[in-house]
Amino acid sequence: MDRAERDEKIELYGRGFDMLMATLKDIPREMWKFKPGPKEWSVHEILIHLADSESNAALRARKLIVEPGGTLMGYDQDKWAIELDYHDQDPDDALQVLKLARQTTYALLKKQPDEVFAHTVKHPEYDEPYTFEQWLNIYSAHVPGHIEQIRNNYKIWRDRQG
């Protein structure tokens, strides 16, 4: 990835929270706990997941910056959703966690020299070294991917309302 592409992904990462909030203003709260299917996540669960995932992502970015060659912690996102009872958690608190994780990590990303983006770590879900560029590809697309999921949930809910 060249610098221009990396900078574009960093900016997309930095806009993630605002993009999510712009989407949520059009999604009625009364449908946030609606699940399109038994194994699919509600908007509420997606928001809690984003807080957990982005907290982990923020730590992973810091590990990549400061301790290349180290090992990341893996986690089972579906098990977290069940065991941590995501529907019992406050989505507004989750949004604040997401906002701060994104905001502080975005500021760090913008200050890193090119060579830092060549750093790698060990990731329990990957056989090959996990690169900072992989991290950036994953997390710049993370919120936009869930925005599409939220929009799809809303469309299904609205269609079922008649």
Around Cβ 118, how many Cβ atoms within 10 Å?
10
Q: DSSP class of residue 121? A: E
What is the reported pTM? 0.94
Residues 6+ apart with CB under 8 A from 89: 48
Query: What is the predicted pLDDT for the residue at 1?
Result: 86
Interior angle at CA 33, CA 31 and CA 39, nearest 5 = 120
Tokens standing for 71? 């090992």
Over the chain (162 residues), the average pLDDT of each successive run of 10 is 94 98 96 94 97 96 96 92 93 98 97 94 93 95 98 96 80
Q: For the chain, which domains are there?
A: 3-161 (1.20.120.450)
Task: Measure the CA–CA gap between 51 and 99, rounded to whole angstroms.
Answer: 9
